[in-house]
Amino acid sequence: MADLSAGPATTFARAATQWTPLDWWKLEARALHGVPELRRSLAAFAPAAAWKDLAKNVAPAWGCLLTLSHIASFTLPAVALLFLLSWAFGRNDVAPVGVAGLLAGIAALIAGIGIVTELRESLGTDPKIHRMLGSLHLVPSAIGSLVAIAAIAQGAADGVWGVVGLLADVIVGILHFVLFRGPAHTGSDRWQRSFGNLEAALERMPPDERMRIYSDIQTALAELRDRGLISSEDYTRARELRIGILGMTMAPREDLTPR
């Protein structure tokens, strides 16, 4: 008969039939099921394959709206470029620089809010996603800016102020590449900030919650050792670790190694 009092980490350990490095992260994610803030902080150190487990129920209530705004932000620059290309290919006598710039400016504003949100409350989004988003802003708005400048130089632009919005979106696209270069290395400023967020989340955890999670992890580790899924050495090493560093110690990311 199943032990209904078993914690989520213990339940995960009892259901395991084999053990891989990724399972250390999954075990920790299960143990921290009731602490989404801590799981979100851990995502900065976890391999991409573990993000699904760490990200369950951690998105803010307005996350859906933020996703929709991102979709709008990377489609608007393309629409703006289409408006300008209508002049470049001779379909219109005047380039609608103002309209295009307004659309690109709105896209830049939405994307800028998204960047600030990600930096403040990171969900561990893959840097490749950010670079893709950056391209969707940078490429069409850079081309649009060149077309707009050409139209202005020829005196065929309507709303010359629109070039400001296009250039703003170019800057936002560049920021995606600059700010989300990839995972930081141990000791770097970005790594230290991420670890600081993790420490702060741990400090805010109530003592009784911390004790419950610690006990769950210890029971899970004993279960894995007794069933021969982990070695005695791994058991001894893992049981001495405090909450929050099990995964990064037992299965560190290869691109997060100390220099």
pLDDT for residue 68:
59
Total-model pTM: 0.56
pLDDT for residue 82:
95
Residue 256, pLDDT above cutoff 60:
no
Question: 114 CB contacts (<8 Å, ≥6 apart)?
Answer: 66, 69, 70, 73
Taking alpha carbons only, the member of 3, 60, 11, 4 closest to residue 223 is 11
Identify which has the larger pLDDT, 183 or 153: 153
CB-CB neighbours of 249 under 10 Å: 14
Quote the CA–CA distance of 239 and 254 in Å, as a whole number.
23
Q: For 189-220, write each residue's pLDDT tens digit.
A: 566 777 787 888 888 888 899 999 999 999 99
Residues in the chain, how many?
259
